[in-house]
Every structure is written in structure tokens, then in C-alpha cells.
Amino acid sequence: MDKFNPELDLRLERVAENVKPETIWKAWTRPEHLKRWFVPEPWTIADVEVDLRPGGIFRTVMQSPEGEQFPNLGCFLEIVENKKLVWTDVLLPGFRPAATVESGADLPFTAIVLIEAHGKGSKYTAIAMHKNVEDRKRHDEMGFQEGWGKCFDQLIALAPEIR
């Protein structure tokens, strides 16, 4: 990945001792799995759409416990099977520039997910890249570490069911 900039980027790193990179990849790239872990409980994902190719759609609809829905729309930028997934909500599918209202994002960022073999398991790194210090700070204060960490824990709990 390009240089990590601690002034603009947030990073979560975890090791999953007994979860292979292929399993984490499937959890990220198959809608039926992504729906089950990609938002901290008690929130849920009401709908997901994945077109796994550069410029392809990455759309999720988060749902609050009260039933309020929050759509998020973006596109994939880079895909290296079982190793790297990059997506952003600042571009719509087909790399079309997005207005904040269109994408559903009130905090635009680019996400990089890195997956590496680590012993019998995997090393997982999630990076959120922001355009400025204020957005990074706001995302951090919103609970990036806690939220993305809880989601990863949910992914690990789901891992034995992923085929």
C-alpha cells in the first residue's frame, strides 16, 4: 500500500489465529456473508450489492435497531484476490464522481483491506484514508477502532460457517 499517513488515516490491525485469508476474503466479497458481520450489532445490514471488479458497485444499507436505514454507495478501486480490497464512497460505480448526498456518505473515505497469511491464520489490516485531518479526527471520534474492531470480531465468529 502507499505510505500510511497517521495525520489523515486510521488503521486497525488484527491477527486471526485460525482463519485463513481465503475465508476473510469470502466474508468481504460475498453479499450473503457481508450482510452478517459488516456493521456492529445490534445494527444490521438490510441490503448489500457487490460487483467485484474495479469500478464495480459496493453498496450497503445499514439499518439501526429502530429500523432507520442508511444507504452507502461506492465503488471498488483495486482487487487482489485473497490479499487486497480497496473501495471508496467518493466515487460511484463506473468511477463516476459522487456528491456526498448521492453516495450516502457524510464522512467520505477510501478503505483498504489487506489480508496476509500469518501462521495458520491471517493478519488483517483495515485502513480508512481521509481527505483532511478534521475528517480523520471525526471518524476516530465516531469510534473507528471500536466499530471496525467489533465488526472484525463478528467476522471471526462467522468464519466457521463460511464456505
pLDDT at 39 over 90: yes
**19: number of Cβ within 10 Å:** 22
**What's the rounded mean pLDDT across residues 88-93?**
94
Angle between helices 133-141 and 144-158 (to 10 degrees): 60
Q: Domains of the chain, with CATH numbers?
A: 9-161 (3.30.530.20)
Rg for the chain (alpha carbons), in Å? 15
Band (98; pLDDT cuts 50, 70, 90): confident
Please give the backbone phi and psi of residue 22, each rounded to the nearest 5 degrees, phi first.
Answer: -60, -35
Band (3; pLDDT cuts 50, 70, 90): confident
pLDDT at 1 over 80: no
**What's the rounded mean pLDDT across residues 59-69?**
96
Residue 19 contacts residue 148 (beta carbons within 8 Å): no
Q: Give the separation between CA 151 and CA 163, rounded to whole angstroms.
A: 19
Bridge partners (DSSP) listed for residue 125: 13, 114
pLDDT score at 102 = 57
